[in-house]
Amino acid sequence: MRVIIQRVSEANVKVDNKVVGAIDQGYVLLVGFTHNDNLDDLNYIIKKIKFMRLFDDNNGIMNIDINDIGGSLLSISQFTLYADVNKGRRPSYHHSMEYNKASDMYHKFNDMLIDEGFRVETGIFGESMKVSLVNDGPVTIILDSKGDNYERVEL
């Protein structure tokens, strides 16, 4: 499972020129799944999101988590996070989870975030979306539940 976190001062997502999700201060989450992702991956990423300190304290140091600022989440499904660009010029998406399973995982992920107490807004899975955001910082963090060749550290 991969999630790109962008710290934002505001963000929204539109489908067919209608806003379907919007937040003020918080995170935009671009969320992608691969074939062997499971509940453990969801739990790992959710813990990271919940406790990662990406907001500035009084000294301008990123030392405050999203809970402390009462921030919200805008969760956007994005299968392209598993694009394979090693061959040719057109990305292959064979590493992305199959559509129906990914849809189930995405909805489960969002439900679990809500269960953790977050205010969660979403796009619409599988739709063409227009995401607008003001990246605050800018701060952009890449999370990968498999570690992406880095040592995985549990909280």
Give tens-digit pLDDT for 111-151: 999 999 999 999 999 999 999 999 999 999 999 999 754 44
As annotated, the active-site residues are 78-80
Give tens-digit pLDDT for 17-55: 999 999 999 999 999 999 999 999 999 999 999 999 999
Tell which CATH classification among 3.40.50.300, 3.90.1150.10, 3.40.605.10, 3.50.80.10 matches the domain 2-144.
3.50.80.10
Each as own residue / partner, the long-range contacts of residues 146-155 (CB below 8 Å, 24 or more positions apart, any chain) are: 146/1, 146/34, 146/41, 148/2, 152/44, 154/44, 155/47, 155/48, 155/51
